[in-house]
Chain A
Amino acid sequence: MTRVLRVKDLEVCFATTEGTVQVLDGVSFDIRKGEVLGVVGESGCGKSVTALSTLGLLGSKGKITNGEITLYQDDGEVELSKLDPSGPMIRKIRGKEISMIFQEPMTSFSPVYTIGNQIMEVIRHHQGLSKKAAREAAVEMLGKVRIPHPEQRIDAYPHQLSGGMRQRAMIAMALSCRPRILIADEPTTALDVTIQAQILRLMRQLKDEMDTSIMLITHNLGVIGEMADRVVVMYMGRIVESLPVKRLFEESLHPYTQALLTSLPVLGSKKRNERKRLASIKGMVPDISRVPPGCPFHPRCDRFMDGLCNVHKPRPVQISPDHEVSCLLYSEVAKDAG
């Protein structure tokens, strides 16, 4: 399959009052045409920063210090990480080639304009349509995301819609210029469970219909299992494991991935003795300004090897063509020592 986005050795630093903090350390992954790439990890692991850096939306405090982000278009490649984040080039990418939806549909829409106004704005900006044509396009998009009576709802203000409807409108806005990539940052976290499933199904359908790739950011492995084709697992600004979702539940190798999986509740275990307390990962995520030496997960790891994990920084090891893991258990360093 062809690549649409490649992130290579990405490093991002943020300026804080206590000095510079590195929040991404050598993040590399590809997104292929038409696939859903899941990005999973605990809060603060750098999922959202990864997403925002592709769009140049890190703000004045964040900076890409190393690495490349490349967008593959039909007529060539664009080096997104080299573009001026406030320049005109990246603005042609945002909303048109890559668009984004966010966690909270209520606060992600401006409360003082109708959703139609906000959807038509992006259509007119990138496609230069007339007001009338943009309105027709917006109504069509609202219909596509299954909002009933789109020709009336287009004039609704965000507070007049339910949470699920708002997120549908958000998806309509993000897909209105048929982007190559849709970045969805926790798109269902703020919604009811029943609505979550509807929204996820809708995203899948539209992705196939419009041939868009999706980068789905979530902390919810259930959502990943339902939606994603491949998954990258992040911990403290690094990718610890990446593999196809089909193999995630049986063949994952990194102790952190395995720990995440065992902290998932299992439905349908009826026998009394199978009902156990839900497992959780011991300890807390350390402060990002004090990343532990060696493997950042070693203080919480069950399979910690003293003298190795707290000394050597693990490198990604290729297990099979689609499966990489960054853990010393599987690397040459450990084998040499063993």
Chain B
Amino acid sequence: MLNYIVKRTLLMIPTLIFISILSFFLIQLPPGDYLTNYIANKEASGGSVNLAEVEALRQRYGLDRPFHTQYVRWITGVLKGDFGYSFEWNRPVNELIWERLGLTVSVSTLTLLFTWIVAFPIGVYSATHQYSIGDYVFTTVGFMGLAIPNFMLALILMWLGHRYFGLSVGGLFSPEYAEAPWSLAKLLDLAKHALIPMIVIGTSGTASLIRTLRANLLDEIQKPYVTTAKSKGLKDTWILFKYPVRVALIPFISTVGWTLPQLISGETIVAVVLNLPTTGPLLLRSLQSQDMYLAGSFILMLSVLTLVGTFISDILLAWVDPRIRYS
């Protein structure tokens, strides 16, 4: 097992290097750079641009240098913890992303937990009571959850929350806590605000996990090893959780890897609608304005999270399934 973990960790290094090159390359693919974009915007709105100043900026950030020089500059900075400078915000990338990333990871983790806690028992119930009334109800609700666009659900829940529960909706904090230092009251405020995003972002994930678990479990319940376990005289619930559920969880676990980054980038539209101070909207804007260091850093972060997620799910898989561990 230890061997496997070490091997998996070492494999991550070349992948990471490759991804960083690729993401930097992709950001540079559109013609021009932040400055040409900036000039175009200024001129479109009727302003004038000091060309000498632009040229000075271009030289200062090395935008006139070839691709590889720019990449090496950026990546050596990243290794020292300096992610570069955001042109649009006029601030170091570091100052911009960490708090948002922290909030995003907490909202995402909560959502993931919500998803699992809801999906697991319903999935098991639906599979063991196939074609029962309960199964049909959950299936219908699940498909509705899948079908309703997230932003729509967000709008409805916001309206309901505001109209009937008097919640201050939108954002992750009430106005009085937004700039306040961290305290228990602020944490509670965050929890209250996180409820709607959690439900909105979690709904479709929950629905698809229920379907996956149900289908897997239905397959596993028919396997001969379940009959063997029954022929040993064991109790049905014991058999269910010891044998088929454990195997049915394997695909469940392997999705952890994709869920992490998806939770961060996938909810951009919801974050815009709900005015969440998470990473999604910031990433969207930085891409539109070709704010290359900010966008690059975000994409790098998302890639790292994907790798970490896959790593975690691989370790969990090896732990659950000995056939992976020993091959």
Contacts and interface: CB of A to CB of B under 8 A. Distances in A.
Given A94-B232, A110-B247, A121-B234, A157 B326 contact: yes
A159 B325 CA distance: 12
Interface in B311-327: 320-323, 326
Interface residues of B, number: 22
A313 interface: no
Contacts of A121: 232, 234
A92 to B, nearest CB: 7
Given A102-B224, A109-B225, A111-B247, A157 B231 contact: no
Given A109-B228, A111-B247, A159 B233 contact: no
A263 B112 CA distance: 62
A91 B227 CA distance: 13
Given A102-B224, A102-B228, A160-B326, A112 B321 contact: yes
A95 B230 CA distance: 9
Contact of A57 (B225, B227, B321, B322): B227
A96 B323 CA distance: 30
A126 interface: yes
A55 B326 contact: no
B252 interface: no
A94 B231 contact: yes
B231 A99 contact: yes
Contacts of A173: 232
B158 to A, nearest CB: 44
Contacts of B228: 100, 102, 108-110
Nearest to B234: A125
Contacts of A99: 231-232
B230 A94 contact: yes
A125 B225 CA distance: 17
A110 B225 contact: yes
Contacts of A273: none
Contacts of B234: 91, 95, 121-122, 125
Contact of A86 (B231, B236, B242, B243): B236
B231 A55 contact: yes
Contacts of A93: 233
B227 A112 contact: no
Contacts of B60: none
A94 to B, nearest CB: 4
Nearest to B236: A86
Of the four ranges (under 10, 10 to 19, 20 to 34, 35 or more), the interface on chain A belongs to 20 to 34
A104 interface: yes
Interface in A194-219: none
A126 B233 contact: yes
B233 A110 contact: no
Given A104-B224, A107-B223, A125-B234, A157 B229 contact: no
B229 A110 contact: yes
Given A157-B323, A157-B326, A96 B223 contact: no
Given A55-B231, A92-B233, A110 B243 contact: yes
Contacts of B235: 91
Interface in B198-252: 223-225, 227-236, 242-243, 246-247
A94 B235 CA distance: 11
A112 to B, nearest CB: 6
Contact of A108 (B224, B246, B247, B323): B224
A125 B233 contact: yes
Contacts of B246: 112
Interface in A157-192: 157, 159-160, 173
Nearest to A174: B231
Contacts of A96: 233
Contacts of A92: 233
A111 B232 contact: no
Nearest to A94: B233
A160 B246 CA distance: 20
Interface in A77-122: 86, 90-96, 99-100, 102, 104, 107-114, 121-122
B249 to A, nearest CB: 10
Contacts of B225: 107-111
Contacts of B320: 112
A204 B112 CA distance: 55
Contact of A125 (B224, B230, B231, B232): B232
A122 B243 contact: no
A107 B224 contact: yes
B232 A122 contact: yes
Nearest to B321: A112
A90 to B, nearest CB: 8
Contacts of A95: 231-234
29 contacts: A57-B231, A91-B234, A91-B235, A93-B233, A94-B231, A94-B233, A95-B231, A96-B233, A99-B231, A100-B228, A100-B231, A102-B224, A107-B224, A107-B225, A108-B224, A108-B225, A108-B227, A109-B225, A110-B225, A110-B243, A111-B247, A111-B322, A112-B320, A112-B321, A112-B323, A122-B232, A159-B323, A160-B326, A173-B232
Interface of A: 55, 57, 86, 90-96, 99-100, 102, 104, 107-114, 121-122, 125-126, 157, 159-160, 173
Top 10 nearest A-B pairs (CB, nearest first) are A94-B233, A95-B232, A95-B233, A122-B232, A91-B233, A100-B231, A110-B225, A107-B224, A157-B322, A108-B228
Given A107-B224, A121-B234, A159-B322, 6 more contacts: A94-B232, A107-B225, A109-B225, A125-B232, A125-B234, A126-B233
